[in-house]
Structure 1
């Protein structure tokens, strides 16, 4: 992120580590269940 204050440019940096594989499994399960619910709701609205 870059922004200007009193004629000077300031830069905001953020560092992060990637998720471990066991963290990803939980995230993937949550995404899949959310997709399934949305699919069912979409089918019902037809």
Structure 2
């Protein structure tokens, strides 16, 4: 089970902090970040 805080933080980063829209391409440079958070952010 994934930590629900990863999903919450990912939603904040994508929807509020960066305002990424569906269909836009971004580069995720994920160094020393848990794999589960990387997956949540990519979704």
TM category (shorter chain) comes to 0.3 to 0.5
| Bigger fraction of residues in strand | 1
User: Over alpha carbons, which structure has the higher Rg?
Assistant: 1
- Please give the TM-score of this superposition, normalised by the length of structure 2: 0.34
